[in-house]
Amino acid sequence: MKITLDRRNGAVVSRTLFTSWRSASDPGTGDFTLGQDPLGSAQLYIWRRSPQGGGGAGGEENTTYWRSGQWANTNFVGVPWRSLYVYGFKLNGDPSQRDGVMSYVFNTYNTSEYRFMLHPNGTETCYMLLDTGEWETVWSQPTIPCHAYNTCGANAECAAGNNGRPVCTCLKGFEPRDPAAYGGGNWAQGCVRSAPLTCETNVSGGGGVGFADLPGVKLPNFATWVTTVGDENACRQTCLANCSCGAYSYSIGTSCLTWGQELLDIYQFPDGEGYHLHVKVPASILDTGSKTRRWTTVVIAVIVVVAVLAGCGLLLWKCRRRIKEKLGIVGSRGKPRLPSLLPVRESRQDFSGPKQPEQEEAEGGKKCELPLFPLEVVAAATGDFSADNKLGEGGFGHVYKGKLPGGEEVAVKRLSRSSGQGQEEFKNEVILIAKLQHRNLVKLLGCCIQGEEKILVYEYMPNKSLDAFLFDPARRGLLDWKTRFHIIEGIARGLLYLHRDSRLRVVHRDLKASNILLDRDMNPKISDFGMARIFGGDQNQVNTNRVVGTLGYMSPEYAMEGLFSVRSDVYSFGILILEIVSGQKNSSFHHMEGSINIVGYAWQLWSAGKGEELVDPAVRAAAGAATAEALRCVHMALLCVQDHACDRPDVPYVVMALGSDSCVLPTPKPPTFTLQCTSSDRDGLFGGGHADESYSACDLTVTMLQGR
C-alpha cells in the first residue's frame, strides 16, 4: 500500500486517493475518500462527500471526517502506538517541507498478509491474515465519536465517556462560546478565551503569560513546523516571542510544532499515549488561588493516609506470601509443584509433547497454565542427561537437547545445585517467559521441579545461539549482512515488546550474544530471563545492591551504581549491534588500535569517517549497497552506548530509525571511558603478574589501590 502526494509551488500535481464502496454489496463510488492532506502537512485524511458543499481540505464538495494527526517518525499522533508497534507506515519525504513528493509505504515487518479497507461508513481498517484463514483486525479508525474530526469544536478536548460517548471540555483558560448550547450537547461553536492575551505580555519576556499543560492528547490540526530549534526550551521561547502563537508541542518524533489561536480536533487518549500540548494562557489563570490550594492540601493529606494504609497492607501481604512460599514447595498430596504465583498443571500420560497450555496472551486476563513434566520424562528425553546431548553450559548449569516420546525436539535447561541462580531466579524466569508471548522471545514449553531438581523445557533452536556463529571464524561467514540486519531488527522488536507493548513492563538486564537464540530460519529470540525485573507503570529507574549481568554489556550506571532502567537494556543492545556488525567480541578490542573496547574502537572509526572498516571483513565485500545500512547501525549503536542513560534513545525510536532511511539520526556524544577486565587483567589486579600495569583512555586514569 502506497499513499503519495506531489506538490509543486504550493499546488497539488498528483496524489493517491482511495474511495469507499457505496455499501457492502454495492461497489459503486461511496461517500468517503482517503488520502494525504493536499496542504502538505503529511497527515492522512478521510473526507466525506457533502451534497451541499463544505469546502473541506479534500475538495470543494468534501468535508473533513477524520485525520490521522501529524507524522512523528514512527506513527501518527492521532493513532494509538500500541496497535502499530509491528504494523506501521514509513514516510519517504520531509513533512516539514510543504512542497515535493511525500509517500507513505506500509511496512509489515513479517511475512503475514495484510489488507486495508475503507468501509462505506467511513471507517478505515487494517486486517492481518491468520494461519486459520481468518482476517484479524489490527487497528481501525474512527470507531468512536471522539475519533471523528473536531467533535467538540475549537479550543476543547474530547474524551470518551461511557459507551464511547464524547465528553467535551473547554481547555484551561477557555469557556464555551455559547454556554447554553454547549451544555446541551451542541458543541459546534466551541470555546473562546476567558481572558484575552496581549502581545505586550509576550514581548516583555512572558511574565504575564504561561502555559497550561495538556498531556496524552492527539495534537491539534494546522500546526506549523519550526525547524530552527533543537530542544523544548527553545520551542517554548519561540512560542512566547510570537504574538500569534497559541500553543506549542515538542517531542523527538515531531520536533517543534506551534499553533495559532484556534486549536482544532484535540482528543484525549484514555491509556496514557499521545503527546504533550502546552497552551498559552494568562499567568493569572495558572494561579490556583487560596481555595484551590486548600483543596490541594486536603487531597494530599488523604492520599498520604491512603498510601500509609496501603503500605501496611502490602507489608502484611508480603510476610504472609513468604511464609506460604517456604511451606509450599510440595503440594498437599506430596506432588511437586512450582511454589510461586504461576499456576501449573501436570502433563498427562501422553507425552507426545506438552499440549499447548491455556496460556494467557500477554495482554489477556485469562489464567495462565504451564505444563509440569515429571523428572523421569525429562530424563528419558535427554538420554538421562547424556553428555552426547549437551548443547552448552553456563554458571546456571547445563543445556541438553531432548526428544519427547511424540518426537518433538526440545531444549532442556537443568540448573546446577551449586548454581547461583536460586529459587527466586528460577521462578522469575518461569513467570516471565510463560506470561510474555512474542515471536522474538524464546517459548517456554514447561518445567520440572522434583526434590532439588529445577528444570526448564524450551522450544528447540537448531541454530543454537548467536555467539556460536558470530565469534566462530569458521561459521561467521554464514551470517551475511542481510541476515545480520534481520537479527538486529528482531532483537529490537523483542525489546520493544518487553519495554512497551506487553502487559508486564520488563527490563532484561542480561542481554548478550549468548542469550540470543536462532531458530531454523535465523529469526532471533531473546532468552534467559532469570535476571529480568518487572517495572511498575510509574517506575523509570530502580536501584539494586546486587549487580548481576555480564561485564562488557552492562551500562555504566548499572555496573558502578546499581541503577538500571530500560535504557540499561538499550546500552546492552548497542554493544550487541557493534558485535554483530564487526563479528568481534567486545573484550577482543581491549588492546586493538589503542582502544579500550569496541565502543572506543567504533567511535574512532566513525568519527574519522571510516565506519565501514568496522564491518566484519567476512561480509564487507559482499555487503555492497548495504554499506550505508551497516553505517546506520554503527551510528545507532553509538547513540545507544552513550555514557548517560538520558542521552540514549528509547527502543521505539531505535526500531523506527533502523527501518527508516529518511530519519536523520542525532550526533552521538564521544564515550568517556569504560573499565573492562579481561582474564589477564584480573590476574594482574588481584595477585597475578603485571600488577603495576595501568591503562588510560580519553585522558582519564583509573587507579587501583592495593593494601600492604
Q: How many helices (H) and strands (E) does the chain have?
A: 16, 36
Domain membership of residue 194 (yes or no) is yes
Q: Is 137 within a domain?
A: yes
Distance CA 676, CA 596 (A): 8
Write down the residue that cell numbers 539494586 correspond to: 544
Are residues 308 and 336 part of one domain? Answer: no
**Assigned domain for 183 exists:** yes
For residue 487, report the phi and psi dihedrals to the nearest 5 degrees: -70, -45
Chain position carrying cell 447554553: 180
Percent of the chain with pLDDT over 90: 32
- Asked if residue 595 belongs to a domain, the reply is yes
User: Do both 120 and 130 map to the same domain?
Assistant: yes
Calculated CA dihedral for residues 577, 582, 585, 589, nearest 10 degrees = -120
Domain termination residue (choose one: 91, 108, 143): 143
Q: What are phi and psi of 683, to 5 degrees?
A: -60, -40
Band of residue 606 on the pLDDT scale cut at 50, 70, 90: very high
Closest CA to 510 of 395, 338, 649: 395
**Helix or strand run (H / E) with residue 136:** strand 135-141
| Between 499 and 50, residue with greater pLDDT | 499
Q: What is the CATH number of the domain that holds 635?
A: 1.10.510.10
Residue type, 470: L
pLDDT tens per residue, range 440-485 = 999 888 888 887 788 889 899 999 899 999 988 888 888 999 999 9
Size of the chain, expressed as the number of residues it contains: 708
Active site residue 510: yes
Q: 52-56, 216-220, 327-331: which range is least confident on average?
A: 327-331
Report the distance separating Cα 368 and Cα 433, nearest Å: 11
pLDDT tens for 153-205 read 999 999 998 888 899 999 999 999 999 888 888 898 999 999 888 775 444 44
Can you give the CATH number for the domain in which 340 is found?
Answer: 3.30.200.20
Helix 566-582 with 651-658: angle, nearest 10 deg:
30
Confirm whether 149 is domain-assigned.
Answer: no
Angle, helices 627-640/481-496, rounded to nearest 10 degrees = 30
CA separation for the pair 524, 573 (Å, rounded): 13
* Residue at which a domain ends, from 460, 486, 504: 460
Q: Which residues are paired to 690 by β-bridges?
A: none
Residue 82 included in any domain: yes
Q: What is the DSSP letter of 549?
A: S
CA 36 to chain centroid, in Å, comes to 27
670 shares its domain with 644: yes
How far apart are the C-alpha atoms of 702 and 689, rounded to whole Å?
18
pLDDT given for residue 580 in this prediction: 95
> Is residue 148 in some structural domain?
no
Mean pLDDT of 686-703: 39
The band of 207, judged by pLDDT with boundaries at 50, 70 and 90, is: low
pLDDT digits (tens, 9 = 90+) for 209-247: 899 999 989 999 999 989 888 889 999 999 999 989 999
Torsion angle defined by CA atoms of residues 179, 183, 185 and 189, in that order, rounded to the nearest 10 degrees: 10
**Of 260, 258, 240, nearest to 199 (Cα)?**
240
Kindly indicate the confidence band of residue 509, based on its pLDDT and cuts at 50, 70 and 90: confident
pLDDT at position 494 over 50 = yes
| Residue (of 263, 255, 246, 261) closest to 226 by Cα position | 255
Cis ω on the peptide bond leading into residue 179 (within 30° of 0)?
Answer: no
Region of poorest pLDDT, from 66-75, 535-544, 682-691: 682-691
The predicted pLDDT at position 529 comes to 81
Determine which of 25-34, 83-92, 243-252 has the lowest per-residue pLDDT on average.
83-92
Residue in this structure with the C-alpha cell 587501583, named with its chain if needed: 704
From the list 37, 501, 510, 528, the catalytic residue is 510
CA distance 71 to 161: 27
Instruction: Please give the Cα distance from 449 to 513 (Å, whole number).
Output: 28
Q: What percentage of the chain reaches a pLDDT higher than 70?
A: 75
Q: What pLDDT, in 10s, does the model give residues 140-149?
A: 889 899 999 9
Mean pLDDT along residues 572-583: 94
Number of domains comprising the chain: 6
Question: Which conformational region is residue 339 in: left (phi greater than 0), alpha (psi within -120 to 50 degrees), or beta?
Answer: beta
Q: Say whether both 646 and 672 belong to one domain.
A: yes
Binding residue per annotation — 280?
no
354: pLDDT strictly greater than 60: no
List the beta bridge partners of residue 247: 259, 279
Q: Would 151 be classed as within a structural domain?
A: no
- Cβ(162)–Cβ(146) below 8 Å: no
DSSP annotation string for 228-295: T--SHHHHHHHHHH-TT--EEEEETTTEEEEE-S----EEE-SSS-SEEEEEEEEHHHH--HHHHHHH
Closest to 490 in 3D by CA, of 32, 86, 23: 86
Q: Which of 104-113, 360-369, 529-538, 593-602 has the lowest mean pLDDT?
A: 360-369
* Same-domain pairing of 277 and 313: no
Residue 681 has pLDDT above 50, yes or no: no
Express each pLDDT in 540-570 by its tens digit.
444 444 545 677 888 888 788 778 788 999 9
Closest CA to 153 of 221, 76, 211, 214: 221
Residues 189 and 253 in one domain: yes
Kindly state the average pLDDT of the residues 119-137: 89
Please check whether residues 255 and 312 belong to one and the same domain: no
Is residue 396 scored above 90 in pLDDT?
no
On average, the pLDDT of the chain sits at: 78
Please tell me which residue, 386 or 94, carries the higher pLDDT value.
Answer: 386
Q: Does residue 670 share a domain with residue 683?
A: no
Residue corresponding to grid cell 502487559:
503
Q: What residues does 137 pair with on adjacent strands? A: 127
Q: Which residue has the higher pLDDT, 291 or 355?
A: 291
Query: Of 427, 460, 493, which residue constitutes the final position of a domain?
Result: 460
Least confident of 291-295, 390-394, 428-432: 291-295
Do 314 and 407 reside in the same domain of the chain? Answer: no
Q: Answer yes or no: do 26 and 116 share one domain.
A: yes
pLDDT, tens only, 91-117: 888 776 777 888 888 776 566 788 899
Same-domain pairing of 86 and 45: yes
pLDDT at 626 over 90: no
DSSP output for 359-419: PPPTT--SPP-EEE--HHHHHHHTTTT-GGGEEEEETTEEEEEEE-TTS-EEEEEEE-TT-
Higher-confidence residue: 454 or 369? Answer: 454
Task: Flag whether pLDDT at 537 surpasses 60.
Answer: no
Based on the domain organization, do 640 and 686 belong to the same domain? no
- pLDDT bucket at 492, cuts 50 / 70 / 90: very high
Domain span at residue 304 reads 291-319
293 burial type by CB count under 10 A (0-12 exposed, 13-18 middle, 19+ buried): exposed
- Report whether pLDDT(708) > 50: no
- Bridge partners of 248, per DSSP, are 258, 278
Q: Which of 206, 193, 182, 166 is nearest to 260 (CA)?
A: 193
Q: What is the dihedral of CA 384, 390, 392, 395, to 10 degrees?
A: 30
| Per-residue cell: 231 | 530542544
